Structure 1
Amino acid sequence: MTGSEASPSFKLAYVPGVTPAKWVRIWNERLPDVPLTLVAVSVAEAFDVLREGGADAGFVRLPVDRTDLSAIPLYTETTVVVVPKDHVVAAVDQVSTDDLADDIVLHPLDDTLGWERLPGQPAIERPATTEDAVDLVAAGIGVLVVPQSLARLHHRKDLTYRPVTDAPESRVALSWPEEKTTDLVEDFIGIVRGRTVNSTRGRAPAPAPAEPKAKAKRPETGGGGARRKPAAGKATGRNPRSGGSGGAKGTKRGKPRRGRS
């Protein structure tokens, strides 16, 4: 074993926007004796938390440094632009980055999209966090392009969002320190990948005991076992109608012959 007993509990980190509730519920059903603790982390600190043992595994945003961390990409998010409800963008179903050319596009320091070239007009300074940027959007200072999960996380009644068709996308992955791939980590990988209880890697059930083989019937023999049923038409034992032994054939009886005169 790689050390499942070394960790009596399982710590799961997650970055903003990720909702791990479904996987936590399945974990609690399958491993009720191993408590799972959630650790909320920022995008910037997520990898250090994993490396320093602050969590056994975590939901992070790609890219991941594969030098010492393993990762399984899970899904790609839709990218949206957050705008006030009275903004012109609110009247359409989706936009392109060119449609934002005249807007101030806020670029928070914790941005997760990795822009090569930010669309629109730059702000005077970058907001510290996505949450701060949302507040600026509500104040009418600019718009914000983010993964849809972050738009939902920081939802406000006076704001709305629309998909941006050609913006970079954010991908979410499950990551953990490669050298600490414990049995519990394997269990969680199985849950995230949708494996059933019987197929979860690292927790395969013990093989079922083989069924006992049926005893072969002993062939019927003339001695030591059950008596063989005689073949039809053959006599056994003493013939009650003759005085000879069971092996001799009896004489056929008929009318006595008369002597010649």
Structure 2
Amino acid sequence: MTGSEVSPSFRLAYVPGVTPTKWVRIWNERLPDVPLTLIAVSAAEAFDVLRGGGADAGFVRLPVDRTDLSAIPLYTETTVVVVPKDHVVAAVDAVSAEDLADDIVLHPLDDTLDWERPPGRPANERPATTADAVELVAAGVGLLVVPQSLARLHHRKDLTYRPVTDAPESRVALSWPQDATTDLVEDFIGIVRGRTVNSSRGRTPPPAQQKRKRPDTGGGTRQKPAAGKPTGKSPRSGSGGPKGGSKGGRRGKPRGRS
């Protein structure tokens, strides 16, 4: 390697609630010589990190501005309400937004849900973060509606959560700058989409895989013909008989009688 060459690496951003462990493991198995660095970012700053070159790709929450970013939607999360364990909501399997009308529902500044109108009664002030809102729920100040992964991320023993059947849902996507769709980005897209090593859209396989390929013989490997099948010789030719042999073993033109 010369002094001007830089070892390849891949930087992957991810927002709170996303667990990239499975994809990172597959990356390390397929590209062990290319280190992957995880970068934790907030949902609000994720797009600026991608645009600024701080990460090659990232797990973000939709919507994505498609003007300069590409995105592949991955999955949709269930929306839940976080409540104290002794709250009446904890006694049911699910609730609607209308069921929360009499409760104070916290609406943090980093909320990821696209509300037309948040449910419940608003608090006097909006918490700065979801983590702050969870602390307020634990203190009995109000309730919190979030994607289920965030409820799990901020789990506390004194809190629980239940699905909200008619709340907006949060969708997670893989995003990257349109003008920076590198080979490594394509490799990661293939991993996320579940492609196998041999179906990576024309990407050159690693040297270890190339060595395992059988050499090209031009016409492929000839198979030995099965017993009883012709081998390409004329079926009329006998085993060592002269050319043009006739039926019944008769040879040549018959001689006339005298």
Under TM normalisation by the shorter chain, which class is it?
0.7 to 0.9
Letter in 1 for 2:51: R
Secondary structure in structure 2 of the residue aligned to 1:190? helix
Q: Which residue of 1 aligns with 2:178?
A: 178
Cα RMSD over matched residues? 2.8
- Aligned residue pairs, count: 231
CA distance in 2, matches of 1:212, 1:156: 63
CA distance in 2, matches of 1:15, 1:167: 21
Q: Which residue of 2 aligns with 1:109?
A: 109
Instruction: Determine what percentage of the aligned residue pairs are the same residue.
Output: 80
Q: How far off its partner does 1:106 sit?
A: 0.3
CA distance in 1, matches of 2:61, 2:50: 13
Name the CA shift for 1:21/1:202 in 2 (closer, same or farther; >3 Å). Answer: farther
TM-score under structure 2 normalisation? 0.81
Q: How far off its partner does 1:201 sit?
A: 2.3
Q: Which residue of 1 aligns with 2:62?
A: 62
Q: Which residue of 1 aligns with 2:151?
A: 151
Secondary structure in structure 1 of the residue aligned to 2:116? coil
Letter in 2 for 1:133: A
Name the CA shift for 1:132/1:160 in 2 (closer, same or farther; >3 Å). Answer: same
CA distance in 2, matches of 1:135, 1:67: 38
Q: Is residue 187–residue 202 contact of structure 1 (8 Å, CA) maintained in 2?
A: no
Q: Is residue 186–residue 202 contact of structure 1 (8 Å, CA) maintained in 2?
A: no
CA distances 1:129-161 after superposition (whole Å, capped 9, x unpaired): 000000000000000000000000000000000
CA distance in 2, matches of 1:172, 1:202: 27
Q: Which residue of 1 aligns with 2:190?
A: 190
Q: Which residue of 1 aligns with 2:35?
A: 35
Letter in 1 for 2:191: I
Q: 1:157-172, aligned counterparts within 5 Å?
A: 157-172=157-172
Q: Which runs of 4+ in 1 moved over 6 A?
A: 216-219
Q: How far off its partner does 1:191 sit?
A: 0.7
CA distance in 1, matches of 2:220, 2:104: 77
CA distances 1:63-109 after superposition (whole Å, capped 9, x unpaired): 10111000001110000000000000000000000110111000101
CA distance in 1, matches of 2:232, 2:76: 64
Secondary structure in structure 2 of the residue aligned to 1:43? coil
TM-score under structure 1 normalisation? 0.80
CA distance in 2, matches of 1:203, 1:7: 19
Task: Name structure 2 gaps, 5 residues minimum.
Answer: 223-230, 235-239
Name the CA shift for 1:69/1:202 in 2 (closer, same or farther; >3 Å). Answer: farther
CA distance in 2, matches of 1:228, 1:190: 63
Name the CA shift for 1:10/1:141 in 2 (closer, same or farther; >3 Å). Answer: same
Q: Is residue 198–residue 204 contact of structure 1 (8 Å, CA) maintained in 2?
A: no
Q: Is residue 80–residue 163 contact of structure 1 (8 Å, CA) maintained in 2?
A: yes
Letter in 2 for 1:198: N
